[in-house]
Structure 1
Amino acid sequence: MVRLDFPTTYNEGKYEALIVGLDLTKAVEATNMVIHCDSQVITNQVNGDYECKGEKMKKYLEQAKRRVNELQVKIVQIPKGENEQADHLAKAASAEYMITPDKVLSFIQLSPLIDVVDVQEIGFESNWTTLLVSYLKDGTLPDGKEAARKLKVQAARFVLIKDVLYKRGFSRPYLRCLGPEEVDYIMREVHEGICSNHSGLQSLVHKLIKVGYCWPTMQKDAQIYVKACNKCQRFKNIIKLRMEELTPITAPWPFAQWGLDIMGPFSIAVRQLKFLIVGIDYFTKWVEAEALAIITEKNVQSFVWKSIICRYEIPRVLVSNNGKQFDNDSFRYFYSQLGIENHYSSPAHPQANGQVKVMN
């Protein structure tokens, strides 16, 4: 069941359905089939009884005949009253919200198939697959021993099936190789077509591979396409946080300014030790650390007294995060009595990158 999401006439719609059906028949490798069509015009044009007029209709007829000649197909005209099942599916596809019956394949088509076919057939001689196809089909090698060797090595990763080039994969199905003329259409269908979500660069590349396509410059072409997508640029998520300058923290002399943080829990050691309280001097990068079984206000205060004040004198500034072990009445009273300034950073390692956003 195909929904044509573009302007079309009655006969053009019939041809679109016929061509899609023939393509699906070929995809499942069926070779002998009978097509029942309630259109007298389409049936007689394909069978050669009617003459086709109009350039667009001639293109449809040409593509339909080409597919019919590849298969053993017989097209039979039937009365419209005997085509109720197809009419029912057509009404379901044309509804505002397409309702798909069980076990029925359905998709939305955004452009005429004759335009897609024309795009795919133009310029094949100049694309990157030319040498590979020539070698795999006829054994043709380029001039030069080194160039011939490289082509043989490269061709080992490709296979030619019914004159269509595919790339082999270790853990995935064969990928259809696309020329430059087909790339834009395929990316547009995956990025903006049915069930698309205007995905970003990496997601778009993964989707292209998942649906079974590949070409050498996928990453670069996808990046250019996403950047040029009008809807992506207009409606993508934008970080709305207000930008603020970070305050660099510098120390005027050794052991005047320390950063404090708690790490853990780690694997339990002797005496149930599983946490680590760390102090780092901003000037010398000297580290003082102590293992703890529990992290309480009293233990943090004891660490500052024994490992910092008693060894290196009273510091000028202590920098810590907003953890309750550092931000409490007891600890604030402790450093205020000693004349120590206390700065709070965001909840991360205070010494990270040497840049800390100070919150007074």
Structure 2
Amino acid sequence: MFHAHSMTGHAGWDVTLEYIKNYTTWIGMKNDVNNFIKSCTFFRNYREDKGNFQSYTAELKGPFSKIVIDLIGPLRKSENGFRYIIVATDYTTRWTEARPLQTKRKEEIVCFIFENIFLRHGPPRKLISDQGTEFLNDLVKSLCNKMKTEHSSVSACSPNVMEQ
């Protein structure tokens, strides 16, 4: 986990050892870490000619740099007239923001994105939604353009959105 974690990439022997030392230690730890790194398929395939390990680190993306947004509903109307729930989830931390909506009009959608995402967490680099007209419209496009947020859409039946 410390060597090939999605947030650290394939760190080398020394970096992996330091990560582990922050949490635990054991007799023979240096040797165990060294053997594990040597057995890594990634490192065997991408080793430099000199035999040194070529370090690879994934680009770190901070919290709220990529947001996935969707609607739940229509639901049975609540006492206050709500029929939908809009949900936005941060790709990195899985933090979720949600709000009930009476309709799925673009004005309500943009209000949620602006207040619950942009104002609270800053504009993300990327916003991912399905292809519903509540997300693919002039207001959402304008907001994303002004805030320098890339908006992309995926099929509503795409189960792996959080893995993009």
TM value normalised by structure 1: 0.28
Partner of 2:129: 320
Using the alignment, how far apart are the partners of 2:144 and 2:112 within structure 1? 13
**Structure 2 equivalent of residue 335 of structure 1:** 144
Provide closer, same or farther for how the CA distance between residues 341 and 275 of structure 1 changes in structure 2, counting only shifts above 3 A: same
Name the count of aligned residue pairs.
106
Asked if 1:288 corresponds to 2:101, the answer is no
1:255 aligns with 2:64: yes
What is the Cα deviation at residue 264 of structure 1? 0.7
Cα distance in structure 1, aligned partners of 2:98 and 2:60: 20
The SS at the match of 1:299 is: helix
Compute the RMSD of aligned alpha carbons: 1.9
* Mapped partners of 2:106, 2:78: distance in 1: 22
Letter in 1 for 2:139: S
The corresponding residue for 1:180 is: none
Tell me which residue corresponds to 2:154. Answer: 345
**Alignment correspondent of 2:76:** 267
Q: What residue is the counterpart of 1:355 in the other structure?
A: 163
> Does structure 2 retain, via aligned residues, the 8 Å contact 1:288–1:307?
yes
Structure ID, larger Rg: 1
User: Any gaps of 5 or more consecutive residues in structure 2?
Assistant: 1-58
Identity %: 26
Cα gap change, 1:353 to 1:256, in 2 (>3 Å) = closer
| Cα offsets for 1:115-164 (capped at 9, x unmatched) | xxxxxxxxxxxxxxxxxxxxxxxxxxxxxxxxxxxxxxxxxxxxxxxxxx
- Secondary structure of 2:80's counterpart equals helix
SS of structure 1 residue aligned to 2:98: strand
TM-fit CA distance, 1:343: 1.1
Judging changes above 3 Å, is the alpha-carbon distance between structure 1 residues 337 and 353 closer, same or farther for their aligned structure 2 residues? closer
The structural deviation recorded for 1:287 is 0.5
Cα distance change, pair 296–353 in 1 and its aligned pair in 2 (3 A): closer
SS at match of 1:280: strand
Cα separation, partners in 2 of 1:305 and 1:251, compared to 1, 3 Å: farther
The 2-side partners of 1:277 and 1:321 are apart by: 12
Q: Shift of residue 349 of structure 1?
A: 6.0
Asked whether the equivalents of residues 275 and 292 of structure 1 are also in contact (C-alpha less than 8 Å), the reply is: yes
CA distance in 2, matches of 1:284, 1:323: 25
3-state DSSP class of the match of 1:272?
coil
TM-score (norm 2): 0.60
Specify the SS of the correspondent of 1:269: coil
Q: Using the alignment, how far apart are the partners of 1:251 and 1:344 within structure 2? A: 23
**1:311–1:355 CA distance, 2 compared to 1 (3 A):** same
Question: For 1:311, which of 120, 141, 159 is the aligned residue?
Answer: 120
Write the distance in 2 (CA, Å) between the matches of 1:273 and 1:286: 23
For the pair 1:299 / 2:108, whether they are aligned, the reply is: yes
| Offset from partner CA, 1:179-214 (integer Å, 9 cap, x none) | xxxxxxxxxxxxxxxxxxxxxxxxxxxxxxxxxxxx
- Deviation of 1:270 (Å): 2.0
CA deviation after TM superposition for structure 1 residue 330, in Å: 2.1
Q: Which has the higher contact order (CA 8 A, sep 6+)?
A: 2
